[in-house]
Each structure stands twice: as C-alpha cells, then as structure tokens.
Amino acid sequence: MTEKEIEQALIEKLGDLKYSYRPDIRDRAALEQNFREKFETLNRVHLTDGEFHRLLDSIITSDVFAAARHLRSRNSFERDDGTPLYYTLVNLNDWCKNSFEVVNQLRISTDYSHHRYDTILVINGIPAVQIELKTLGLSPRRAMQQIVDYKNDPGNGYTRTLLCFLQIFIVSNRSDTWYFANNNSRHFSFNADERFLPLYQFADVDNTKITHLDSFADAFLAKCQLAEMISRYMVLVAGEQKLLMMQPYQIYAVKAIVDSIHQHCGNGYVWHTTGSGKTLTSFKAATLLKDNPDIDKCLFVVDRKDLDRQTREEFNKFQEGCVEENTNTETLVRRLLSDDYADKVIVTTIQKLGLALDGTNKRNYKERLEPLRRQRMVFIFDECHRSQFGENHQAIKEFFPKAQLFGFTGTPIFEQNAGYQQIQGQQASYRTTADIFQQQLHAYTITHAIEDRNVLRFHVDYYKADGQKQPKPGEALAKRAIIEAILAKHEAATNGRKFNALLATASINDAIEYHALFKAVQAQKLSEQQAADADFQPLNIACVFSPPAEGNKDVQQIQEDLPQEKADNQQEPDKKKEALKFIIADYNAQYGSNHSIGEFDLYYQDIQKRIKDQQYPNADVPHAQKIDITLVVDMLLTGFDSKYLNTLYVDKNLKHHGLIQAFSRTNHVLNDTKPYGNILDFRQQQDAVDTAIGLFSGQTGKQAREIWLVDKAPVVIDKLQAAVQNLSDFMQSQGLANTPDAVPNLKGDAARGQFINLFKEVQRLKTQLDQYTDLTDDNRQAIEQILPKDQLLGFKGVYLDTAQRLKAKQDKGGEKIDPAVQQLDFEFVLFASSLIDYDYIMALITRYAGQAPGKQRMSRAELIGLIHSDAKLIDDRDALTDYIDSLDTGKPHTVEGVREQYAQYKVAKTAQAIADLAKRHGLSAAALQGFVDAILRRMIFDGELLNDLLAPLQLGWKARTKAELALMEDLIPLLHKLAQGREISGLGAYEQ
C-alpha cells in the first residue's frame, strides 16, 4: 500500500469508530475557526474577534508541559468588558462527550516552516494526537527523532499554533505501530549518550502486542479509550516538567485495583517485575482513589525509612506537594484523623502503622483511631513479599474490618519460596502472597519486561577456578583468588568502567575481610607496576553494611529487611562497630567526606549518590570521586536502582526471590552500550538460578531461560561471523573488497546506508562480546580471526565518516533525500568508548611523542586509528591528526605541555580556517572572527550582526542574498564544530 492508501484506510477506520472526518480543515485558519466554534459551544459564550485572538495568544505556548496542564485545567480569561470568563478547553467532567474529529494533510505555514501533517485527531477543536504514516520498514526511534527534528525547526507549527496541545505521537507503517508522549525538546536526547523517553507498543491485558494499525485503532483510538488515555493515564511529572504515558500493563493493574474497590471484591496483589515502574502505577492508583468519594483514606505503606523518603519524593515529583512527610507516629495518627483533602493519601512505613495500632502504646494511638474503625480504608503495600506484611496483616484487618488491602511485588512468595510460618493448632503452613492478599489482579513478569526491552537479559558467568578440583555449588573460593579474578575481569564486565558493580558477600565478617584484602592486593599491584612500568589503575572500593542497632530505632527499622546483617550484628557487635568505623574513616579519606557511624544514614545515602554519579563523564565528575565496586551484605540488593550499575559479583548463596532481587540491580535499560546485566557468580549456583527463573518467569523452564539469559559466547561469535559475512557479501556485490579503505568508494547514499546498517550490527555484537567475562583464549582467537582489531578500528573510522555525511543530509532534509537514508538510525553511542576521553588521548599522545626510535609501543597509525574510531572525538579528529603529525617525536613531553600545545594549535587552526573563509567571501578576517566569537559567546545566531558583517560589501538586495547564503553554507559546518554539540539558537533558519 502507498502512504496515501494507508492514510485513506485509517480515515475510514476512524469513521467506523464514529470520528467525524473534516476534509475542509487543511490550513491554520480553518483549524482555528473550528476550535472557536467548539470552544464557544462548550463554554456557552460568543467571543468577539478581538477576544478570540487574545484567547489564542494567551493559550498558545512553546512549553509543551504548560499546554498539557492548561488542557486539563479550568482557566479564566478577561473579556473586553473587564468581566472574567471561566472556561475549559475540553469537557473535563466527561471526556467521552467531547467531539472527536479527524483531519488529514493539514498544512501549517509559519515564518520559516511549511510542514504538512499526515493525520491529526482533534478533540473539541484541540489537536491532541498526530499520526505519522510510513511505507517502509519502521525504525521507531528514528521516526521519533524525525518528529522531534520537525518540532525544533524555527517557527514550527508545534510551538506557534494550536498544535502546541498535541499530547501523543503515533507512528505506523500499518503492520507495526508505536506511540510516545509529546514533550519539551530537552527531554528528547539524540546525542552520543542516546538516552530516550520511552516508545510504546500497545498490548492487551495478557501483554500480547497490538501492532496492526486497524487493531490498534480499535483498542487505543476508540473515542472513550483515547479520552481515558489522555485524561487518566498520562502523568504530568511536575518536578521534571515532563509528560509520561503509563504503559499498558500499568493501566491494567490500576484498572484492576479501581474495579476491585468499586465492586467490593476484597483484597488483591499486582505482580509487576522489578524495574517496571511500580511506583508510577501505585501513584496513579492512589491519586485516582483520592478522587473517589467512597474511600475515606488511602495509605501507601512501605517497609523501610529510606523507601518512605524515596517513595514520598517520587510521588511529589509526579505531583508537587501531594504527600507530606510523617516525621513520627504522632504525625501519622493526626493525618489519619484529619478530614483535609491533602491528608487523604498518606505514605507511611509499616513500622509507624504497627505502632499506631499497638494497644499497649503509652500514647493511646489505637484508642484515638477508634472513630476510623468503620471507615472505608484502602491500604496499598509496596514490595509486599516482605515477611512483616504477614505479621501486620492481621492487626490491620482486625482494626479496620472494612479495609481493602492491595500489594505490589516484583517477586511474589509462592509455596516454594515461603519462609514465614503460620501456626494453626499443631499444623504449620507457609504464608504466601496469595494467602495474605487473596487473588492476583495482574501480572507483568520479568519475562514480559525482557521481551518488551523494559529490562535487560542477564549474562551469568559461573566462574571456574584454575586447577582440577572445582568447588561444589554453594561452596566458597579463597577471597584472594576472587579478588584477582575481579581485577582481571572488571574492565571487560563494565565496558571500560563506563558502569560500576556490587560485590555481594555472605556476611559482615566477609565484607570486612574483602575490604582489607582489596586494599592490600591493589597496593601490592601498584608497587609491582612501578617496577614493571605496567598500566594497573586501582579500583575505587566502598563498603556498606548496617551497624549494630544498640536500641537505635532507625537502624532497627532498616534491619527489618536485612536478615543476614541483623543476625551478624548480634555476634560480637563491638568488633563489627569498630570495623565499620574504620571503613567509614577510609571512605572519608578517599572522598574528602566527613561521615560517622552515629549518622549512618547520611553515609548510606552518600554511597548511593556516588554509585549513581557513574552517569556523569569523568570530565564532569572525576573518576576519583566515583565508586567502582561497592561491597555489600544485604544492603542495596533490593530496592536500589541505577542505570549505570551493570555488574554483580556474587560470593554469597542466593535463592528464589532474593536471587532475582539481587540480579535485578544490574539490568535497568540504558542504551546499546549496556546489552545485558552482568553476573559473575563465584559459588556455582546454576541450579539456584534455573529454579528462580522457573519460579518467577510465568513460563516453562527452558523457554524462560532462553528469554532471560543471553546466548553463550560461541553462539554470539557465530552471529558475529554471519554479520561480518553479510558485510563482505554486500561489499563484493558493489564490486569492492571488504576492507575499510574500500568504503569511501561506495556509490550512492542507498549503498552507504546499507553499509551503515550492516556494520552497526557487527559493532553491536562486538560490544556484547566485549562485556562477556567468560571468554576463553579460543574464543578470543576466533573473534580476532573473524575481525582483526586493526580492521575493526578502520571500519569504525569509516563508519563515523559515512554516518556524519549522511546525518548532515538527514538534518538538511528536503524532498530529494533518499527515503532509506531518512530512516537511518546511526546509534553513535555504539562507537563511543567510555575509556577514550580527552584526558586519555592527551596521555596517549604524550607517550607516543616521547617514544625513543626503535622502542615504539604504539605506532602513529594505531594512535590515529583509535582517535578516528571514537564518536566522541568526531569533531576533533582532523585537528588531532594534524597536531600529531606536527609533533617533534623522540623527545620527552609532559601531559600538561601537550594539552597546552594542542589548545594553542586548535585556536590557530580555527583562526586560519576563519581567515581562509573570510578571504573566499571578500570579508575582513577580524570582522568574521568577531562575528563567530559573538555567536559562540551567546549561542545565539544574530541576523543583525550578519547584516553588519556584510555591509562593507555594499551589495544590492539580490547579490547580498546570494552572498549571505554562500557564506552561511560554508560557515554552518564550522559553527557546529566549534559549538561541540551545543545548540545555536536561530541557526536552523539557514539549514532548511
């Protein structure tokens, strides 16, 4: 089908869904007139022309978040006679009663933009959904980028017209359909970091994808369904000024809870895997209940103080001030008794709730709460697999007989992994999640999440020690041998320290011993390095475990979910305390902090912050201020999330939900540089892993393992060989050898685009293999034989050259560009090494320049190949190459000297480029240099300054326009290079 035929079929389908087709709305004036008619009907008012234009001026904004809030609010407007008009843009009380219309081929012309929009769904005159239709195979992320590029055009229709109210973008080629929320441009990142807002595919309640456009229209675009999606299931994250769409499984869970309450169906639990956004789901459930008049109170209950703080912050991020802090049990009781609407939703800990219902408490909390006994209460428990929920369940049910209890868990308690016994007479039985919460309301397992790319698969390396005798499953190896293995594998596991790791130890004593041993082993390696001139870079090691409680309520509360640490601290607590004091003092010395055991919570928070600081480049946060490995016992193995943590070293016996919780610290999605969560198990626990996968997958064992676990190295090596062969076949089909130097001879953009796609797959597989910690020598030889290192670097260099060339054409746009090129997604992140940064290159150049003849460890070709193969250096590669060629080699250099020389060299090279450009266009070099400096100083392109620059040429209007365009064509690439990825406001007008 052609694009036009797909569009026509969609319009017919929307007609079946009772949308009104408006072929008369094809331009801005008709769109605004339609809005005026709908607005006046809804608000029962007749506006003068002047009032209507003032209304438009007041509601149209370039701020997507402000527009979204305006759409959902009651607003006021001052009429010509000074009286206020209170209005809404749509029927907020019943969204289904709004008018739903479909518009196609709408053309919005503004000062610089003449875009045509395929299909737009209009709710009560407000454009709410844009549908972009494609005929080719769909790259969802590239389609998103194209829409964002349109939005960034100067004078675009999205910011200057009613299109500012668009809430959802949908992209489809009929068989494959994706959607995402509109947002301000800063929330879409297409730079080398490639961190994206989510793209969704709709699904039914069993998570079966609904991708065909007709089926998608039935399920998603039916009038009341779409109205519900926009009004109930989009979240305006106030703290980040961002629009979020709830994913289908989150919507079904919320609906199940709301329906359960509405129909008085008892209790229930939601099984949504770790990393699937349970906090957002529970927030939406709580806020919908807040507006339910049948409910008196909704309590969101967590089991640890740090989660209380974390959840409250998350809730308040979604909606400012929606949850207050309960500083103590007295505050909780006061808020429970309050009739204030702000106190209807309360976040509290299970411990405070337990104290409030404790009849023996001196403050008589239970007696004071007596008026609530008959009220309709809803309790939502976070992480309801913890044992204390079973203990508190009975007290809540007895005191609040009309209460309904709902639980969220990523790892339910089944009979196989239950650990809490209920004694009934002489018979003991286990308490499972179903025992406590009666019924499962919705499931979205880790199997679903991996298939949806909401979390990553795992690579599990069951470490095999050297020697004949291998330990039995669960048996510990010598700690020194484990440290040596970690030091040997950490660079590979963490992609050159782009990510960081946890080491899970079996006890507090083990953690203490590991901390001392890491210091000793690394100190020894450093001294050996000085003798051997090796390159060992020590890892930054931190350690955290809870101190003996000694009556401290906060520590006791933390230890409720730390069984190993709680038990360990009862044995020789003084020794544990002294060891922790030493560990904190060592941490303070390393990081310049001032923590103490008396304020343990601050130390714990600081460690979490430093682990998350891994997200920042070393240029912003030096490596010395980050943590490479954190030694833990129980802490951080549940509930802690960081996308830049990718590796778990395991020297601890894990099983069931404890194993899945610990593994799940590593598999949060970032981008293609993080292909999986890396587990290096030193306890040979394959049976425990297989059992846990079978228990929590919702699938049969073999099928679940194939979904959860990445392929073994030999399988990926075979895939790499096939990908390289595909590249070779393609190059031969073009009459070229499969070598990097042949790529520039490819004819036509379609062929270059094909090379981009084929080599990108090679690099993706190579990135995956690079992070395998269990490669054998045979594996490494096979990889080198398939794709020698020099050839790989060469291909990466020509890939970046080709991608840069095609990306420039994409950015320029226009009708002539090959559609296949328009769809290309370059994924520069795959070609940016975390190891190679500016400081690293300066150090390499220093070493290269100081090499004595005949004793070279790195050749010029190797050094330049390394620079040309990294995406981060794409703008500096030519200058670095020329600088290396200008160096006086064979003499000692310092890194500081090289850095200073290179900075001077770059300044001189830029000045020469500007002088050459000025000469070519008949301008003063000083004047052009001043013009460029002014742009870079403010990051704004000033048309008035351009007029001043060209004035001395004394050209007529036509000749001046020609001269201006010729100058800008030469100047724009230089400005982009000098801006180093930052956006120059106003420059886009010359890039059309």
Q: Beta-strand (E) ranges in 612-655?
A: 629-632, 645-651
Out of 396-405, 500-509, 543-552, 877-886, which region has the weakest mean confidence (pLDDT)? 877-886
pLDDT of the residue at 762:
94
Q: Is the pLDDT of residue 427 over 80?
A: no
Whole-angstrom Cα Rg for the chain = 31
Q: Let me know: does 198 contact 183? Beta carbons within 8 Å.
A: no
Average pLDDT over residues 551-559: 75
pLDDT of the residue at 50:
95
Q: Is the pLDDT of residue 342 over 90?
A: no
Confidence of residue 989 (pLDDT cuts 50, 70, 90): low
Q: Let me know: does 22 contact 102? Beta carbons within 8 Å.
A: yes
Confidence of residue 814 (pLDDT cuts 50, 70, 90): low
Average pLDDT over residues 614-621: 86
Out of 216-230, 397-411, 552-566, which region has the weakest mean confidence (pLDDT)? 552-566
Out of 141-145, 220-224, 315-319, 363-367, which region has the weakest mean confidence (pLDDT)? 315-319
What is the distance between the terminal CA atoms of the chain, rounded to a whole angstrom? 30
pLDDT tens-digit series, residues 504-532 = 999 999 999 999 999 999 999 888 876 65
Higher pLDDT, 663 or 827: 663
Distance CA 104, CA 365 (A): 63
Distance CA 891, CA 653 (A): 55
pLDDT of the residue at 852:
64
Distance CA 117, CA 831 (A): 34
Confidence of residue 829 (pLDDT cuts 50, 70, 90): low
Average pLDDT over residues 921-945: 88
Tell me the percentage of the chain whose pLDDT exceeds 90: 44
Q: Is the pLDDT of residue 422 over 50?
A: no
Which residue(s) pair with 632 in the sheet? 504, 544
Q: In terms of Cα–Cα distance, which of 898, 908, 863 is closest to 881?
A: 863
Distance CA 9, CA 212 (A): 12
Higher pLDDT, 860 or 245: 245
Confidence of residue 110 (pLDDT cuts 50, 70, 90): low
CB neighbour burial string for 93-113, b if at least 16 within 10 angstroms, e if fewer: eebeebbbbbbbebebebeeb
Confidence of residue 429 (pLDDT cuts 50, 70, 90): very low
pLDDT of the residue at 571:
93
Angle at 263 (CA atoms; ends 258, 266), nearest 5 degrees: 85
Q: Beta-strand (E) ranges in 393-499?
A: 404-409, 421-424, 427-430, 440-444, 458-462
Q: Beta-strand (E) ranges in 290-349?
A: 297-302, 345-349
> What count of Cα atoms within 13 Å lies in the side-chain half-sphere of residue 819?
6
Higher pLDDT, 847 or 128: 128
CA 775 to chain centre: 29
pLDDT of the residue at 102:
97
346: left (phi over 0), alpha (psi -120 to 50) or beta: beta
Q: Is the pLDDT of residue 794 over 80?
A: yes
pLDDT of the residue at 423:
33
In single-letter form, the type of residue at position 118 comes to D
pLDDT tens-digit series, residues 143-200 = 777 777 777 666 567 888 999 999 999 999 888 899 999 988 777 755 444 555 678 8
- What is the helix (H) or strand (E) element at residue 237, kind and residue range? strand 234-237
Q: Residue 812 has which token pair?
A: 């320029």
Higher pLDDT, 486 or 902: 486
CATH code: domain 470-708 is 3.40.50.300
Higher pLDDT, 672 or 548: 548
Average pLDDT over residues 905-924: 90
Which residue(s) pair with 421 in the sheet? 430
How many other C-beta atoms are found inside a 10 Å radius of the C-beta of residue 374?
Answer: 11
Q: Let me know: does 354 contact 283? Beta carbons within 8 Å.
A: no
Q: Is the pLDDT of residue 709 over 80?
A: yes
Confidence of residue 888 (pLDDT cuts 50, 70, 90): confident
Q: Residue 365 has which token pair?
A: 């909390």
SS3 category, 49: helix
Angle at 716 (CA atoms; ends 713, 721), nearest 5 degrees: 125
Q: In terms of Cα–Cα distance, which of 418, 320, 308, 410 is closest to 353?
A: 308
Q: What is the largest CA-CA distance in the chain?
A: 104
Q: Is the pLDDT of residue 312 over 90?
A: no
Fold of 3-244: tt1808, chain A (3.90.1570)
Q: What is the mean pLDDT of the chain?
A: 85
pLDDT of the residue at 870:
72
pLDDT tens-digit series, residues 49-93 = 999 999 999 999 989 999 999 999 999 999 999 999 999 999 999
Neighbouring residues of 53: CB distance < 8 A, sequence distance ≥ 6: none
| Torsion angles phi and psi, residue 227, rounded to 5 | -60, -40
pLDDT of the residue at 352:
80
pLDDT of the residue at 57:
94
Q: Let me know: does 971 contact 987? Beta carbons within 8 Å.
A: no
Distance CA 396, CA 357 (A): 8
CATH class of 248-444: alpha beta
Q: In terms of Cα–Cα distance, which of 325, 261, 317 is closest to 288?
A: 261
Average pLDDT over residues 935-946: 84
Residue 472, judged by CB atoms within 10 A of its CB (0-12, 13-18, 19+), counts as exposed
| Helix pair 957-979, 943-950: axis angle to 10 deg | 120
Distance CA 816, CA 822 (A): 10
How many other C-beta atoms are found inside a 10 Å radius of the C-beta of residue 378?
Answer: 24
pLDDT tens-digit series, residues 435-479 = 888 899 999 988 888 888 888 999 999 998 776 577 788 778 899
pLDDT of the residue at 425:
37
